[in-house]
Amino acid sequence: MMKSKHILFILSVVLFAFTSQAQVTFMAKASSKKLGLNERVRIDFVMNADGDDFNPPSFDGFRIVGGPNQSISNSYINRKRTYSKTYSYFLSPLKQGNVRVGPASIKVSGQTYKTNPIRLLVTPAVRTPSNGEGINPEIVAEDNVHLVAEVSNATPYLNERITIVYKLYVSNDVSITSQWREINSPRYADFWSKTIDSQKLNVFEGKYQGEDYRYVVLKTTVLYPQKTGALDIEPLTLDVPIDVPGKKRNIFGRTISARVNKTISAGGRSITVKPLPIDGKPDTFTGAVGDFKFNLQTNKNSLDANQAFELTATVSGSGNLNTLTLPSLKVPSTLEVYEPERSENLQTRASGIRGSISETYTVIPQYKGSYPIRPITFSYFNPATERYQSIASSDIIITVANGFVASTNEKDSKTQSPLKELVVPQARFRYLKLNADLIASKRAPFFKSKLFWSLLAGPLLCIPLFILIGKKRKALRGDIQGNKLRKANKMARKYLAEAKKNRHDKVVFYEALERSLHNYLKARLALETTEMSKEHISELLIKRKAQAACVIDFERLLKRCEFARYSPAGDVTIKQDYEKAIATISMIDKQIQ
């Protein structure tokens, strides 16, 4: 009986010790229950067990200026383990009155635990604000350094230029060095982008939220939206070393500063891209947006037949010059016209892309006569006036003085003149010799000679060779997939010829590569510039039986062109991207129907 009582006592003690050790506590603590509107408060969420899925409250009525900071305490005293884990937040109040901090939650061994809510009283701003408990140089740095992205236009039209200026504001209470580091560079999806880095960082005086600040312009990015609707601009994130002065001084009386590395972000921005209006849209509009001038000129107005002259169509001004299409040339059918040579003279500044593009046609007249070059019209949308404008070229007359006369030209194509008797002057045949003094040849007869038998037997001996060549050609014609691949490779190299010329200039190479990919899609899928969105391209390629892997490779190439201009790329990378572009275009051209 006594033994059983001892056993029960020992079991109860062990059970009590186990339950007391397994008891989980999770509580919230505030450094102060009362604070001014210009003061800070520290909130600690403390637990005695390690848990998962920590969910803080929303902190409505506060701005988080620091945290979450995590600390763990694990100690053994007299063989007894003491464990504590704390999540700390530093808050700044946004309004006066009684403000409630809601409960936080965490899971321990599958069970959810919550803290009790905390009520704080926020009074009007105090004359001498207290930093409060736990406020450190990180919070001071947070309040005195800001990265801002200024967008020139939040509601642009499709293909209208917008500019983003990234400014770093620093108050007079702290100082920074120029050794900041870019952590995340924004990727401008659905935009044509060009970044202009500041060559020299000049310090300016300005205002930030009504207070005096210094600021520098880090970089400027020019964007042309390629898609309508709401588009997001990713934030720029920097790691900035900040020197925060403290209250202590050294032996020389100078303030001792604390170096703090802070990660600051410009914050994401969203813009709404408006579609171009339908009313007043001319039939000759091909997607040009900006303010342009257009002219068509020739280097010769009179020449002889079979001599060449040049016609040059030029668009100049500011706008999306890098993606617009020039109107086609219209000439009489008796003029032989060759493919145009395109030239560009463009500069990208904060105000957008300025310069000119031109296409020069080589034309050769075949017959004598006068040939009118019909005016061609270039249309564009001007965002400043929100109207479409059209510019027509002037009339050009080409006079061909010497040469044969065409039997039918454009002037008498409707009413032909009656046939006339052809009069041939006798002097034309004076070069014919009428009295020829012929001498008999003393050469051996050709019949049954070696040359005779060689010419007779040669074709017979070539018959097996012709049969072999014919079989080879038949096999090549039957190789449908091989012919498609060879044709696709030829088309890929044709479109990528310009990019290949500029392989030693990274920026020019990737711009030419991107333009080549766009031109290939326009030619192969019959797309307009306004339809060049990634979603529409992917949808069309898949609809035309292109494999998903090739479509993904094509999209990666386009993204590579966007990002590679602003990131390091060596000759090996450029060569790989060029070969990848050839292989991808070849496979797509082979697969689509």
- Compute the distance between CA of residue 515 and CA of residue 558 in angstroms, rounded to an integer: 10
| Count, residues in the chain | 593
Determine if residue 204 is left, alpha or beta; phi over 0 gives left, psi from -120 to 50 gives alpha, anything else beta: beta
- Which of the four pLDDT bands, split at 50, 70 and 90, describes residue 133? very low
Q: What is the pLDDT of residues 424-470, one digit of tens each?
A: 445 545 556 666 677 776 677 777 788 888 888 888 888 888 888 88
Least confident piece of the model among 341-355, 378-392, 485-499: 485-499
Query: What b/e sequence results for 317-327 when a residue is b if at least 16 CB atoms lie within 10 Å of its CB, and e otherwise?
Result: bbbbbbbbbbb
Secondary structure element (H or E) that encloses residue 363, with its range: strand 352-365
What pLDDT sits at residue 481? Answer: 60
Kindly report the average pLDDT of the chain as a whole number.
79
Q: Are 45 and 115 in contact (CB under 8 A)?
A: yes
How many CB atoms within 10 Å of residue 151?
16
- Residue 508 — φ and ψ, nearest 5°? -65, -35
Across the range 205-224, mean pLDDT stands at: 89
- Residue 552 — φ and ψ, nearest 5°? -65, -40
Query: What b/e sequence results for 166-178 when a residue is b if at least 16 CB atoms lie within 10 Å of its CB, and e otherwise?
Result: bbbbbbeebbbee
User: In angstroms, what CA-CA distances link 163 with 35, 236, 551, 560?
Assistant: 42, 15, 31, 22
What pLDDT sits at residue 388? Answer: 95
- Compute the distance between CA of residue 347 and CA of residue 53 in angstroms, rounded to an integer: 52
pLDDT over threshold 90, residue 155: yes
Residue closest to 86 by CA, chosen among 101, 63, 67: 67
- Compute the distance between CA of residue 19 and CA of residue 43 in angstroms, rounded to an integer: 29
Q: Are 298 and 373 in contact (CB under 8 A)?
A: yes
How many CB atoms within 10 Å of residue 577?
21
- Which of the four pLDDT bands, split at 50, 70 and 90, describes residue 409? very low
Across the range 476-493, mean pLDDT stands at: 62
What pLDDT sits at residue 416? Answer: 36
- Which of the four pLDDT bands, split at 50, 70 and 90, describes residue 360? very high
Least confident piece of the model among 23-27, 400-404, 426-430, 434-438: 426-430
What pLDDT sits at residue 13? Answer: 45
The rounded percent of the chain whose pLDDT value lies above 70 is 79
Q: Please state the pTM of the whole predicted model.
A: 0.48
Query: Structure tokens of 175?
Result: 């100082």
What pLDDT sits at residue 421? Answer: 41
Choose which CATH entry (2.60.40, 1.10.3210, 1.10.155, 1.10.3470) describes domain 285-400. Answer: 2.60.40
Q: Are 271 and 151 in contact (CB under 8 A)?
A: yes
- Listed in sequence order, the residues at least 6 apart from 562 whose beta carbon sits closer than 8 Å to its beta carbon are 187, 188, 193, 514
Across the range 218-227, mean pLDDT stands at: 91
| Structure letter (DSSP) for residue 157 | B
Q: Are 236 and 228 in contact (CB under 8 A)?
A: no
What pLDDT sits at residue 420? Answer: 39
- Compute the distance between CA of residue 218 and CA of residue 223 in angstroms, rounded to an integer: 17
Query: Structure tokens of 440?
Result: 């008999």
Q: What is the CATH number of domain 480-591?
A: 1.20.120
pLDDT over threshold 70, residue 423: no
One-letter identity of residue 311? L
Across the range 481-494, mean pLDDT stands at: 60
Across the range 401-418, mean pLDDT stands at: 54
Cα angle: 240, vertex 246, 93; to 5 degrees:
75
Secondary structure element (H or E) that encloses residue 465, with its range: helix 450-478
- Listed in sequence order, the residues at least 6 apart from 490 whose beta carbon sits closer than 8 Å to its beta carbon are none
What pLDDT sits at residue 539? Answer: 79
| The pairing of beta strand 80-93 with beta strand 41-47 | antiparallel
Q: What is the pLDDT of residues 280-298, one digit of tens each?
A: 999 889 899 999 999 999 9
What pLDDT sits at residue 354? Answer: 93
Assigned architecture for domain 21-134: Sandwich (2.60)
| Structure letter (DSSP) for residue 176 | E
pLDDT over threshold 70, residue 225: yes
Query: In 194-298, where does DSSP find H-type helix?
Result: none
How many CB atoms within 10 Å of residue 527?
16
pLDDT over threshold 70, residue 361: yes
**Look-up: residue for tokens 């899971």?**
107
